[in-house]
Amino acid sequence: MASKKSTTSAEMFEFPKFDMNKMADSYRELAEKSAAQGKEVYAKAKTAAEDSTKALESTLESAQAGTVELSLKAIEAMRVNSDLSLSHMEAMLGVKSVAQMIELQTGFFRKQAEVMADQAKMMQETARKVAENVSRPVKAVSEKNMAELKSVGEKAMDDFQAA
């Protein structure tokens, strides 16, 4: 028959033995893991900042090139409009009757409306292309950085839950 060990009241209220070395090792391990994660996050943040700076520089270069392109298109449109207006004025100087003047004016307004519609389409297409070119580098870097930050955050949460 198995003998029962009797416990005294002193044993019943005795604190379990506490090993400070185990606690210190646990804290040291936690501190080392935190430091390693901190270094990893810093390295990724530094890389993200460098990538963002490069993307911003590329964006500014694209914006400058786009502004130049839009300005050149606007100058060309003004040149065409000026040429049309001067040609119309020359034609108006040779008018012999009111009917001929009305015919010239009607033709000029029709031509001017067509030219302006074409110019508006051209400027709209150019502005859309410039906007895409300007936003492309920042969008790509932002998506990449957000994915990296999400993975770092998920890893940190997994490590925290495992600890």
Cβ-Cβ contacts under 8 Å for 44 (sequence gap 6 or more): 148, 149, 152
Q: Is 141 exposed, middle or buried (0-12, 13-18, 19+ CB in 10 A)?
A: buried
pLDDT at residue 143, as a whole number:
85
Helix H or strand E segment including 59: helix 20-93
For residue range 29-62, list pLDDT tens digits in order.
888 888 888 888 788 888 888 888 888 888 888 8
What pLDDT shows up at residue 112? 94
What is the three-class DSSP state of 137?
helix
**What pLDDT does 2 receive?**
53
pTM of the model: 0.61
Candidates 45, 119, 43; CA nearest to 75 is: 119
Give the model's confidence band at 163: pLDDT under 50 very low, under 70 low, under 90 confident, else very high: low
